[in-house]
Amino acid sequence: MKTTKMNETLVACHSIKTSLNTITDEVGVTPEAIYKELSTQGIEPTGAQIWDYNGCDDKLDTIFDLNICVPVAKAGTDTEFIQFLTLSEMKGISYTHNGPWSEFGNVYGKLIQDVVKNKLKPSGRNREVYLNCDFEDQSNCVTEIFIEVE
């Protein structure tokens, strides 16, 4: 565990309501659609995709807000599918996970244990930054998992 902050970031964002049971429906599909829209508008991505969670708990059927985001250098035109916005700065704890996304539950469990042990209070927001995505061999995936604390 390391205490850190994520700087505010200008992003192209697609917002949905989902649950842990249905979130996998968005993997690959939604980011690809965001990249396609950015290409149509002539806007280059500037970083790894960010999934911004608000209100997610450890229950599989809890509905929460999810922003699937791609950092950009400049804002384009909002559409029905994407909006350009600035993700706020977040302070919290993070861990860089090397390996499959199916291991996220264990990673989050360890991070929450660290939050409790250090008497920190989670805000209910977290982010995942997908530094390397490998759909064919997820052992090559690299993801920064970030939990905001108050």
| CATH number where 83 lies | 3.20.80.10
DSSP string, 4-38: EEE--EEEEEEEEEE-TTTGGGGTTHHHHHHHHHH
Percentage of the chain beyond pLDDT 90 is 64
Q: Rounded CA gap, 36 and 131, in Å?
A: 19
62 close to 55: Cβ distance less than 8 angstroms: yes
Residue 20: give the domain boundaries.
2-149
The 10s digit of each residue's pLDDT in 15-71 is: 999 988 888 777 778 999 999 999 999 999 999 999 999 988 878 899 999 999 999
Q: Which two tokens stand for residue 31?
A: 């980011």
Per-residue pLDDT band at 2 (split at 50, 70, 90): low
What number of helices (H) and strands (E) belong to the chain?
2, 8
pTM of structure: 0.88
Range of weakest confidence among 7-21, 52-66, 83-97 = 52-66
The closest of 101, 105, 89 to 131, measured between CA atoms, is 101
- What DSSP designation does 74 have? S
- Structural domains in the chain (count): 1
